[in-house]
A = this chain, B = another copy of it.
Amino acid sequence: MPCRSEADASGGRPLRDLLMPSIQRGSILIALLAICLILSLMTPNFLTVANLINVARQISLNGILAVGVTFVLLTGGVDLSLGSLVALTGVVAATFAHPGDYPVVVPIAMGILAGTACGFVNGTVVTWGKVAPFIATLGMMTIARGLALLVSGGRPVSNMSPELTRLGGELAGLPIPVLILLVVTLAAGFFLANTRMGRHVYAVGGNERAARSAGISVPRVKLFVYTLCGALAGLAGVVLAARITTGQPNAGLGYELDAIAAVVIGGTSLSGGVGGVGGTLLGALLIGVINNGLDLLNVSSYYQQIVKGMIIVGAVWLDQKTKA
């Protein structure tokens, strides 16, 4: 992979980094704006407040997952278990969310806890077991899916208390999942730029051996990122369950690839050390806008896949060209 020359992603002023993306992320922003422009010319339905809120809501899940994966990719790892974790944690949350059973924090906490636990296992297997992240998280992908099916008996866990489903609703005109995504992204951006652990995440991904010889506990950093990624998957699982009002054991298929795609489109390198959550948000937006636009334009489903693939590759290609 060509290494990106500009590498100030871990810079000092996070707010600027997040809100006014630096040159590194500049051109994917350009691609995004170009697509938005084209879409608003092609269909009057695109550039409406209702639809933009719509897009925001639709990317919120992928966005939350992608923020977690950003951490993992920054250390040079990968997490394939997200989709299954979303299913598992959704099922777990739904199990505790029958009306009148427990207060609403319980299902939320249980879902996030389940995700955290699975993430912790991923991290442990990667660090102490020295198993390649691809295999460790692929294993978790299968295991968590099996657990989700087992817990739910293979059927959706429904009859969810309206308090929990409200999480999929709105607050002050903004969808709650979108608010969650914003909070998560800002917090993650701040964390990466301003904490020691954040810095260490970049160091481990940039050169693991050098990080080690600078006295950084590489296992601790890795354990942290996988656990965090699991926790965010848990959060996403709870939000999804709230949104679709059930815990679906077969939900989340392929979410891991979408999340990784958002991160990579956003300029985070798969080999680690370079990137950040600001770009990830843009990447998730790009994917979301494409999906939304193609639906609005009523592109037939075969062509939709072809066009979608081409636009994504094209956007990243443009990004490369304008950078070089």
A: residues with CB less than 8 A from B are 1-2, 76-78, 80, 125, 129-136, 138-143, 145-147, 149-150, 154, 257, 260-261, 264-265, 269-271, 301-310, 312-313, 316-317, 320, 324
Can you sample 19 A-B contacts with CB below 8 Å? A2-B130, A76-B271, A78-B270, A129-B320, A131-B317, A131-B320, A132-B316, A135-B312, A136-B313, A138-B257, A139-B309, A141-B309, A142-B309, A143-B306, A145-B305, A146-B302, A146-B304, A147-B302, A154-B302
Contact B313 A130 (CB under 8 A): no
B320 in contact with A146 (CB, 8 Å): no
Identical subunits present: 2
Min C-beta distance of A51 to chain B, whole Å: 23
Taking CB atoms, residues of chain B closer than 8 Å to A2 are 130, 132
State the Cβ distance, A203 to closest chain B Cβ, in Å: 16
Contact A264 B143 (CB under 8 A): no
Which of B80, B130, B303 interacts with A150 by CB under 8 Å? Answer: B303
Partner of A146, one of B257, B303, B312: B303
Residues of B within 8 A of A138 (CB): 257, 261, 309, 312
Instruction: Check A130/B324 contact, CB under 8 A, given A261-B138, A313-B125.
Output: yes
Whether B301 lies near A135 (C-beta < 8 A) is: no
For residue A287, give the distance in angstroms from its CB to the closest CB of chain B. Answer: 11
